[in-house]
């Protein structure tokens, strides 16, 4: 992917969607923390909307030629902030096991730290298929858990989907780290 000339506006629609996703975070957390069934349900809806913007902003940036350096970094940061903050909140309310949240969030810090290190050298590391699948599964699993107060049948599948996300999270982390240290020229 070529990054658009930075003289162009950084306020592209994809970047606005990433910022919107970040602005949704405190609202979603507040709704979950209320422990009111209707607000938790609303947090699930907002979380799904935020998840859709995650896919939409990248698609629009590529298809409409609206990529920017800001967008290359803002999109994954918005995604990680959203998922990590909601997972931590769900763990606080004992809806997601602590060990799962620790592994998922730690993986994000490690991989984003490595990405930042390589970015200093001018190397942009793009998400792998396994990383994208991990994100998709996290969004679906978290949404199931957020909707589970309305249907108890959604909680268990939601946890299993989160476990699937954990598997792909660790697998993609292994692939990134292996490629970075073994083959410094090729990163998945």
Convert the pLDDT of each residue in 146-185 to its tens digit: 999 888 899 999 999 999 999 999 999 998 888 777 755 5
Domain annotation covers residue 98: yes
Full residue range of the structural domain in which residue 86 is found = 13-182
41-66 average pLDDT score: 87
Domain annotation covers residue 27: yes
CATH code where residue 104 lies: 1.20.120.1760
100/106 Cα distance (integer angstroms): 10
Domain annotation covers residue 148: yes
Query: Measuring CA to CA, how many Å separate 130 from each of 34, 39, 109, 127?
Result: 34, 32, 17, 8
Domain annotation covers residue 3: no
Contacts of 116-122 with C-beta under 8 Å, sequence gap 24+, read 118/180, 118/187, 119/73
Surface-to-core class of residue 68, CB atoms within 10 Å of its CB (0-12 exposed, 13-18 middle, 19+ buried): buried
Better pLDDT: 1 or 101? 101
Tokens matching residue 38? 């209707």
The total of structural domains in the chain comes to 1
Say what the pLDDT of residue 8 is. 54
Say what the pLDDT of residue 20 is. 93
Domain annotation covers residue 7: no
DSSP secondary structure code for residue 4 in this structure: P
Whose tokens are 């803002």? That residue is: 74
Domain annotation covers residue 91: yes
| Residues 80-121: tens digit of each pLDDT | 999 999 999 999 999 999 999 999 999 998 888 887 777 777
Surface-to-core class of residue 109, CB atoms within 10 Å of its CB (0-12 exposed, 13-18 middle, 19+ buried): exposed
Say what the pLDDT of residue 6 is. 47
Domain annotation covers residue 76: yes
Domain annotation covers residue 6: no
| Mean of all residue pLDDT scores within the chain | 86
């Amino acid at each position: 992917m070529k990054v658009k000339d930075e003289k162009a506006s950084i306020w592209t629609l994809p970047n606005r969607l990433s910022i919107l996703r970040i602005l949704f975070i405190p609202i979603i957390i507040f709704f979950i923390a209320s422990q009111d069934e209707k607000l938790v349900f609303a947090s699930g809806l907002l979380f799904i909307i935020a998840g859709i913007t995650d896919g939409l902003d990248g698609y629009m940036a590529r298809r409409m030629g609206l990529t920017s350096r800001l967008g290359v970094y803002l999109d994954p940061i918005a995604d990680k902030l959203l998922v990590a903050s909601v997972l931590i909140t769900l763990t606080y309310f004992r809806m997601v096991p602590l060990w799962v949240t620790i592994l998922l969030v730690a993986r994000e810090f490690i991989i984003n730290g490595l990405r930042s290190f390589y970015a200093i050298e001018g190397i942009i590391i793009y998400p792998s298929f396994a990383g994208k699948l991990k994100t998709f599964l996290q969004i679906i699993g978290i949404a199931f858990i957020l909707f589970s107060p309305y249907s108890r049948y959604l909680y268990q599948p939601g946890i299993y989907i989160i476990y699937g996300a954990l598997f792909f999270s660790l697998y993609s982390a292994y692939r990134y780290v292996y490629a970075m240290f073994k083959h410094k020229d090729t990163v998945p």
